[in-house]
Chains A and B, each alone.
Chain A
Amino acid sequence: GENVEQHPSTLSVQEGDSAVIKCTYSDSASNYFPWYKQELGKRPQLIIDIRSNVGEKKDQRIAVTLNKTAKHFSLHITETQPEDSAVYFCAASAPSGNTPLVFGKGTRLSVIA
């Protein structure tokens, strides 16, 4: 089955700097790659996602890139702000609508003001 590795497990950046979180996946059939943000004590929420027919997707200060050949995808956050501090999870799933997401273990991002 699918296996998703996420790095780093913790990341500290200065406010205004960029943050990059990387994930690799094992199943070449996977075609959907979402990123979820979980603030302390809250539920995970989708912030951005990408499908395998797209190489990059942006939404204001966040972007996701996908390299299908290397089987890795990354989350980029520019101009980080204290409210970006949270745990971020990547995930992957295969084409079948019934195939569940497999999540990475998460990255705790701390933005230092």
Chain B
Amino acid sequence: NAGVTQTPKFRVLKTGQSMTLLCAQDMNHEYMYWYRQDPGMGLRLIHYSVGEGTTAKGEVPDGYNVSRLKKQNFLLGLESAAPSQTSVYFCASRPTGVEEQYFGPGTRLTVT
């Protein structure tokens, strides 16, 4: 099993550009999460999904959209990137009935 993977690993965007981050898991997990990690701010939840076809807002959803069309994939979209979205983005997943979250390796995004 590859576990949780994220694509791409690094990306540099110009202000106003758009992009999609892909999170994929091969563990048949129901729950998936997108976090951003900034220095001194910990892990802040952007959006999450409790199952295929469902999404919900987290603590910091503004400027981001998500989709969970397939159970194994959770996409995070930035429609018009801003410098404030420079961060490291982590995806995580977990199965029903288990609280432990399994994190992906992260995507480092820089918006100039």
Q: Which of B44, B97, B99, B105 contacts A43 (CB 8 A)?
A: B105
The answer on a CB contact under 8 Å between B40 and A34 is: no
Asked whether any CB of chain B lies closer than 8 Å to the CB of A12, the reply is no
**B6's closest neighbor in chain A, by CB?**
A43
What class of interface size applies to chain A in its complex with B? 20 to 34
Mostly helix, strand, loop or mixed at chain B's interface?
loop
- On whether A34 and B100 interact (CB within 8 A), knowing A9-B40, A43-B106, A44-B90, the answer reads yes
Q: How large is the interface on B (under 10, 10 to 19, 20 to 34, 35 or more residues)?
A: 20 to 34
The reply to whether B99 and A49 contact each other, CB–CB distance below 8 Å, is: yes
The answer to whether A69 has its CB under 8 Å from any CB of chain B is: no
Contact status A44-B100, CB under 8 Å? no
B contact residues vs A (CB 8 Å cutoff):
33, 40-45, 48, 50, 58-59, 90, 96-97, 99-101, 103-106
User: Could you jot down 18 A-B contacts, CB within 8 Å?
Assistant: A6-B42, A34-B99, A34-B100, A42-B105, A43-B90, A43-B103, A43-B104, A43-B105, A44-B90, A44-B103, A45-B103, A46-B100, A100-B33, A100-B45, A102-B45, A104-B42, A105-B40, A105-B42
